[in-house]
């Protein structure tokens, strides 16, 4: 027995498409809160939750962010009712007493080496980004994730004074149907093996 029935699975995984343009219907603060809450229920190593979300709400912040995007992505972001800038908190170990008090001392000792701590932050924030997009879809919204941007410039622009490393921009809203069919998906036999 599945947690979701077939119709719900189709609605969550098969029907949504990457959104490149959006209607003018707004995204509410309550929807943003629910996206964050659902995202952070997904598992991460040691419950570390290194993903950080910056909601780009003001016209001034939007203009600053869009200035760092490749030209082809600028119109997509301009049409989105909401933009999320996702980053990985490279200072995640410092919060171990909060996210995992039972293992905090081990985490602080083992991950004192930045060569271990930073890749762990990146990997788990990227995993959480998948939950983030799934949460957006589950709430009836559409997502348009983008990596075509100068993330070093975005780091200086938005996170110069902290340990966050930006890695993904996600346009959010009610997407308009793409003008072309969905791209091919690999079959099970093409990408999976049994040993």
pLDDT given at position 179: 84
DSSP-assigned letters across all residues of 2-20 = -SS-HHHHIIIIIS----S
Q: How far apart are CA 174 and CA 78, in angstroms?
A: 14
Task: Give the least confident one: 22-36, 60-74, 92-106, 174-188.
Answer: 174-188
Which residues, 6+ apart, have CB-to-CB distance to 95 below 8 Å? Answer: 89
Place 180 in a pLDDT band, splitting at 50, 70 and 90: confident
| CA 174 to mean position of chain CA atoms | 17
Of the chain, the percentage scoring pLDDT greater than 70 comes to: 100
pLDDT tens readout for residues 28-45: 999 999 999 999 999 999
Q: Which of 109-113, 147-151, 176-180 has the lowest mean pLDDT?
A: 176-180
Q: Which residue has the tokens 């912040």?
A: 61
Smallest Cα–Cα separation from 16: which of 138, 185, 156?
A: 138
| Continuous H helices in 94-185 | 96-99, 104-110, 114-138, 151-158
């Amino acid at each position: 027995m599945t947690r979701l029935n077939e119709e719900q699975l189709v609605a969550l995984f098969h029907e949504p498409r990457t959104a490149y343009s959006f209607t003018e219907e707004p995204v509410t603060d309550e929807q943003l809160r629910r996206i964050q809450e659902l995202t952070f229920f997904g598992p991460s190593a040691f419950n570390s939750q290194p993903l950080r979300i910056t909601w780009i709400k003001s016209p001034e912040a939007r203009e600053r962010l869009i200035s760092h995007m490749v030209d082809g992505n600028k119109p997509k972001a301009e049409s989105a009712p909401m933009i999320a800038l996702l980053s990985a908190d490279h200072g995640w170990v410092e919060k171990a007493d909060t996210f995992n008090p039972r293992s905090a001392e081990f985490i602080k000792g083992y991950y004192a080496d930045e060569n271990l701590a930073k890749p762990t932050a990146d990997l788990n924030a990227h995993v959480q980004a998948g939950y983030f997009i799934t949460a957006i879809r589950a709430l009836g919204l559409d997502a348009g994730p983008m990596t075509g941007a100068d993330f070093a410039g975005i780091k200086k622009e938005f996170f110069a004074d902290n340990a966050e490393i930006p890695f993904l921009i996600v346009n959010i809203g009610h997407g308009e149907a793409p003008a072309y069919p969905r791209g091919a998906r690999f079959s099970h036999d093409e990408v999976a093996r049994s040993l």
